[in-house]
Amino acid sequence: MQGNTHISHSMKTISLNNGHSMPAFGLGTWKSEPDVVHAAVKEAIQLGYRHIDCASIYGNEAEVGRALAEVIQEGVVRREELWITSKLWNDCHAPGDVQPALEQTLKDLQLESIDLYLIHWPVHLKKGTLFPESGESFLPYEEIPLADTWKAMEQLVSSGLAKSIGVSNFSIAKLDHLIQLAEIAPAMNQVECHPYFPQNALLEFCQQQGVALTAYSPLGSNDRPAFLKAENERSLLDNEVIGKVAEAHQASPAQVLIAWALQRGTAVIPKSANPQRIAQNLKATELVLGEEDMQALNALDTDTRYVTGDFWAMPGSGYTVDWLWNG
């Protein structure tokens, strides 16, 4: 299972509520440095990846775009065969800022339209703020009504710049609120999801509402910058139970985590910038876990996130972690 891979022809897809169909397995690009992401994206697409997850805040969309342009130009893949997701940053939630933000992303990615565009976080930052330095960098949540940002997102669909629209890091309450006010229902909620934090309630809600769920940080995102890490974090990849399941299938722990996510009906976007691991992760789309394996993995739930969101809750921001995830 860990060895050489080949193009997976049976790549699973997820049917979205707007009729579009998205490859369930994709390449994450958060934390892929600009100087390596170009090679990583090219390698992935050459091996058979068809879904690349991007965001303007990752600071590497121009390099991703160069890779996309090259593989298309080289005839490796046609644009229509690729599923490209990107995300609206928190400083561009004012309705007039939404389309220009996507236009910049499209320019960087060298694309005419995006397959899926997500509101990255339900948090507003002042225009021009990438990462907040103090509470001063934030705008109160009430200041830009979600209805207004969403209307601007809907216009992206009408104008053909985005095929599908959705959100990321939305709680059940916020997603419910959005569904009530939306003319075009959100197609996706992209959230952290893995056996330590399986998002059972949110996943059930999404399934009831016809919103697809993408699992981010599916391998535990061990390469997060130090300021986003807690002390004594538990490793997913070194977990004994996951290791045993992997051994039984002659697979790696990462492959087990990817297969678990796919078997629960979620999309999954493991990040790798390493050719062997990029290949290994794709090969996980062929791994089938048994009922007992799934149960053993489901029993690992400790209700712990790696990406806690506490960086939005700095003094004076007006945001709290509890509001973020439960409000």
Residues found near ligand A2P in the complex (CB under 6 A): 28, 217-223, 237, 252, 254, 270-274, 277, 280-281
How many Cα atoms sit within 13 Å of 284 on the Cβ side?
A: 30
Active site residue 58: yes
The residue ranges of DSSP E strands in 176-248, in sequence order, are 188-192, 212-216
C-alpha span between 95 and 147 (Å, rounded)? 10
C-alpha span between 231 and 146 (Å, rounded)? 35
Helix ranges (H only) for 182-272 are 200-209, 240-248, 253-263
C-alpha span between 106 and 115 (Å, rounded)? 11
Whose Cβ is closer to ligand A2P: residue 253's or residue 318's?
A: 253
Q: Judge contact between 190 and 216, C-beta under 8 A.
A: yes
Within 10 A of 169 (CB to CB), how many other CB atoms are there?
22
Return the CA Rg of the chain.
19
Within 10 A of 302 (CB to CB), how many other CB atoms are there?
9
Q: Which helix (DSSP H) or strand (DSSP E) does residue 21 occupy?
A: strand 21-23
Three-state SS for 118? strand
C-alpha span between 290 and 99 (Å, rounded)? 45
Whose Cβ is closer to ligand A2P: residue 99's or residue 272's?
A: 272
Q: How far apart are the first and last CA of the chain?
A: 42
Residue in 49, 58, 306, 319 annotated catalytic: 58
Q: How far apart are CB 43 and ligand A2P at their closest, in Å?
A: 11
Whose Cβ is closer to ligand A2P: residue 162's or residue 219's?
A: 219
The residue ranges of DSSP E strands in 193-294, in sequence order, are 212-216, 267-268
Q: Characterize the bridge pairing of strands 138-139 and 212-216.
A: unpaired
Three-state SS for 265? coil
Catalytic sites, residue numbers:
58
